[in-house]
Amino acid sequence: MSGRDTVKRGMYDPALASAMPSRRALDRAQVRAISPTANDIAHSRAVHESWRRYFRTLPSGARLLDVAPGIGPVALIAREISEADRRSFEVHGLDQASTFNAEPLELNGIRFHARRYGRSTPFADGYFDAVSAQWAPPDDDAAADGIVELRRILKHDGRARLMYHALGGITHEQCLGRLLAVDTLLDKLKLMEHARRMFDTAAAMNALKSDAVSATSQAQTAQSIYANIANWAMHLMRATPNPLAGGQILQVITDCWERRLTLKPSEIQACLDQVEGEMRATQERMRNACALAVDESRAHHIGRLFKKAGFKRVKVQPFKDADDSLVGWDLQAA
């Protein structure tokens, strides 16, 4: 919301005007829906390069299975190496989904299978040359059975490589920082709650003609409170792993505010719902990602489960970035 707009409507609040992020002229054309999340967790470049080196050691025509691929970064890297080096890899992804037994879906040369992890997979004995997983789920009661299944579907000389978030490692700390940032915006500052109240009181001011003074006062109060919250949000987000996210979120709210007189209430509601929904999804995803982190003792325990499942050569070592910061645990087995 610009100071010019608030003056024109008789509701100028300097704090509110200064709290809003600056706008580009091209942004005024429409209300933009953006994701309030950052790009993938940093330090991924070092991790991705390590996967590229790993896949280049596999023979041409190798069959690869990526477990818990999500949006498929590791499987896509395998496909990238296959095409760039003319390796003709056959790449599969196995991920949990609500349609546990759905037919495989082929995208960009990768066959994605929707199945539960555990005692059975839809593959023949010794089908794969390699199995991979990045930020794999840690061990649990069913882990031993799942690892036995990995051994079954691998060739006798097949290889497995799984990466785990390191508890206290750099990606884990970033994950915790992002989770704290979203928790702060949603649950401590209650940013979206105050934004909704600001819109509601502004709409009420326009609707109530009989008590315009009281309605205007309530609208100004709601705007002032939101301005303070927005200022705090911008200040606090500077110290987070994704400092631009706060500004992006506030920008979407600003877009809605500047067009509030031309938007239907349902459109404003949908805009705010989408922002909050994406923030809640980020909150849940970050919480789940943080829960995947394992310490060194647990990483070696998982390594022992691989040995127990029949893998002969198992190695667990720390994975560090170029700055020698701990990123995760690199488990390789054959």
DSSP type of residue 185: I
Read off the pLDDT band of 305 (50, 70, 90): very high
What pLDDT does 115 receive?
67
Sign of CA dihedral 278, 19, 21, 219: positive
pLDDT above 70 coverage of the chain, percent? 79
Separation between Cα atoms, residue 223 and residue 17, nearest integer Å: 10
Separation between Cα atoms, residue 35 and residue 246, nearest integer Å: 11
Cβ-Cβ contacts under 8 Å for 300 (sequence gap 6 or more):
316
Average pLDDT value for residue range 12-33: 36
What pLDDT does 117 receive?
56
What pLDDT does 278 receive?
92
Cα Rg of the chain, angstroms: 25
What pLDDT does 35 receive?
35
What pLDDT does 208 receive?
63
| Sequence ranges of the domains in the chain | 3-40+185-289, 61-169+293-333
For the domain spanning 61-169+293-333, the CATH number is 3.40.50.150
Average pLDDT value for residue range 179-189: 91
Taking only the tens place, the pLDDT of each residue in 147-174 is: 999 999 999 999 999 999 999 998 899 8
- Whether the per-residue pLDDT at 137 is higher than 90: the answer is no
Report H helices in 184-211.
191-207
Taking only the tens place, the pLDDT of each residue in 83-120 is: 999 999 999 988 775 444 567 777 778 888 876 655 67
Separation between Cα atoms, residue 269 and residue 86, nearest integer Å: 51
- Whether the per-residue pLDDT at 25 is higher than 50: the answer is no
Strand ordering across the sheet containing 90-95: 105-107, 110-114, 90-95, 63-67, 128-134, 154-165, 326-333, 314-320
